[in-house]
Amino acid sequence: MKIKTRTLLRTGAVAGAMAGALCWTAWAGPADGLWNSNCASCHGKDGKGNTLMGHKLHIKDLTDAKVQAALTDEQATKDIKDGIKENGRPVMKAFGGKFNDDQVKALVAKVRSLKSGK
Ligand code: HEC
């Protein structure tokens, strides 16, 4: 009985550590890197769109609670995967071919985290 409990505890600890490591790689680290190297040129590191491209393309302030409220996760996922066109002209390219689903998910979470006050 004693051994069983200990084995269970150990299995739990290993599973917990693995889940933690997965979370770390899937969410925290790379999303910032992905954002900074692929998105910040237009959206800005802080997401305010306060860049040359941001002004040119009238990019919304992603730290604005109203902008965040109007944007669903589904829409953000679609925007990142399929890109955005304005009057038939692509203003944001499609990243669906570049990133896998986990990376897109991490970027959606990154977009969410830009909201000010968070
Ligand atoms: C070439 C410039 C450019 C790059 C690079 C770029 N975007 Fe965009 N993005 C835009 C434009 C233009 C829009 C449409 C205007 C707007 O909604 O602010 C937009 C809109 C969005 C939206 C929808 C915002 C809303 O409120 O509807 C999301 C989400 C988004 N981008 C995420 C990203 C992510 C994530 C990346 C990097 C993987 C990225 N963008 C890279 C130009 C860019």
**CB 43, CB 51: distance < 8 Å:** yes
Point out the ligand 1 atom lying closest to the alpha carbon of residue 91: 12
Residue minimizing CA distance to atom 36 of ligand 1: 39
| Domain 30-113: which CATH number of 1.20.120.1200, 1.25.50.10, 1.10.760.10, 3.20.20.70 | 1.10.760.10
pTM of the model: 0.81
pLDDT at res. 26: 46
With a 6 A CB cut-off, is 106 part of the ligand 1 pocket? no
Query: What is the pLDDT tens value at each position of the chain, 118 positions in all?
Result: 566 656 655 665 656 555 555 544 444 567 999 999 999 999 999 999 999 999 999 999 999 999 999 999 999 999 999 999 999 999 999 999 999 999 999 999 999 999 985 4
- Neighbour tally for 12: CB within 10 Å: 10
Residue minimizing CA distance to atom 7 of ligand 1: 92
